[in-house]
Amino acid sequence: MTDQTTTLTPERTRDAATIAAQNDLFRSSLGETPDLPGQIVLTQGVAALPPIEHIEVIRSVARFDTFNEDNDPHGEHDFGAFEVRGNRYFWKIDLYANDLQHGSEDPTNPKETYRILTIMLASEY
């Protein structure tokens, strides 16, 4: 029996590529793109960092490009893990419907999708 949630049909592969490109733009611009609505959320641990480390963490998220089969099995560029000053961090992009009550029905459509990029200490996961 095939698990349809992980089967990459040509359509799903195209969708993943579109979502990845949108996620990359949103993340690398730190949410400052009018074509991809969303927001960035920092956990308490990240928000409480000293200013210089806070900047380094956010900059690391924007520059992240180390996607592989382990951290990006669906090819959507929606998760990353990295280290700054000996601390491990995660970031995650979730794709919601505009009402923020459930997932987007068409995550490839920016008019129907609101991105939330969460940055956290790995210990807060």
Indicate whether 83 belongs to any domain. Answer: yes
Indicate whether 111 belongs to any domain. Answer: yes
Indicate whether 3 belongs to any domain. Answer: no
| pTM recorded for the entire structure | 0.88
- pLDDT score recorded for residue 14: 80
- Looking at the structure of the chain, the number of domains it has is 1
Measured over the CA atoms of residue 56, residue 118, residue 86 and residue 61, the dihedral's sign is: negative
Average pLDDT estimate for 32-43? 95
Indicate whether 50 belongs to any domain. Answer: yes
**pLDDT value at 12 more than 80:** no
Average pLDDT estimate for 22-51? 95
- pLDDT score recorded for residue 13: 63
**pLDDT value at 6 more than 80:** no
- Give residue 125's pLDDT band: very low, low, confident or very high (50, 70, 90): confident
Indicate whether 5 belongs to any domain. Answer: no
Domain boundaries, position 117: 10-124
